[in-house]
Structure 1
Amino acid sequence: MRIGELSARTGTSRRLLRYYEEQGLIVSQRQVNGYREYDEACVDRVLQIRGLLDAGLPTRIIKQILPCLDKPRVIHFSDATPEMLATLECELTRMTTRIEVLTRNRDAIAEYVDAVLEGDRRKSEKASTGN
């Protein structure tokens, strides 16, 4: 598939896809006319990269762990350096904290929405009974 299709299927701009390629995160083959050609596996790879970026991992770390990701949630990284492990532990702690904050915010918003809907329901009931 060409870059436009990959962009559409992943919701990732063409510019960002070229950046991922420049960083060695994805690869393409060049056609005779110079167009980039990506294989089907790039769709999942780009989505995986975006998820890792959204989680806060920098591209330099993503580049190191991508080859170790056989499938989602399975990482085989037998030659991890102490620096790499420390970085990943720091990122893990940061993500866990972020998840806790997001969970609290989600719960607060859900409670607010429930309260507003309950208030609206009560108003509708009063209006329909004439009280």
Structure 2
Amino acid sequence: MKIGEASRVSGVSARSLRHYEDEGLIVPGRSSNGFRDYCQSTIDRVLVIRSLLESGLPVRLIREVLPRLTDEPDVGTDVVCAEFLHEVQGYRDRLAARIAVLSDQQAALDAYLQEARRADP
């Protein structure tokens, strides 16, 4: 299918599909006229990528593990999954730490605003 149909079917913009290709996340086929040709397995891969990106994972991490998760399901899956889960856990821990800092900053601003409102006649 051409990029417009692939975009419609996957719910991902044509621009994003091109970006995924530029990042090495997908490799669509090419028709004789040079147009991109997306097969169902590429669309399935796009849906996995989209889900991982929406979860907040960086492209770097997705690029590293995605080929092993989707292309070679029987080769070293346990090791790949363990490494991937370790990376995801680390990313989640860093995210939780950032959220804690932001929550503290929000609480400080809330306290400041509350105090300022009491002082304002």
1:94/1:26 CA distance change after superposition, 3 Å = same
Q: Residue in 1 aligned with 2:66?
A: 66
Higher Cα Rg, which structure: 1
Percent identity between the two aligned chains: 43
Aligned length: 91
TM-score (norm 1): 0.58
Check whether the contact 1:10–1:43 (CA below 8 A) recurs between aligned residues: yes
Q: Residue in 2 aligned with 1:77?
A: 80
Q: Which runs of no fewer than 5 residues in structure 1 stay unpaired?
A: 98-131
The separation in 1 between residues aligned to 2:68 and 2:48, in whole angstroms, is 12
Q: In the TM superposition, what is the alpha-carbon distance from 1:48 to its structure 2 partner?
A: 0.5
The separation in 1 between residues aligned to 2:78 and 2:56, in whole angstroms, is 18
TM-score (norm 2): 0.63
The separation in 1 between residues aligned to 2:29 and 2:44, in whole angstroms, is 17
Q: In the TM superposition, what is the alpha-carbon distance from 1:76 to its structure 2 partner?
A: 4.3
Q: Residue in 2 aligned with 1:53?
A: 53
Secondary structure in structure 2 of the residue aligned to 1:9: helix
Q: Which runs of no fewer than 5 residues in structure 2 stay unpaired?
A: 97-121
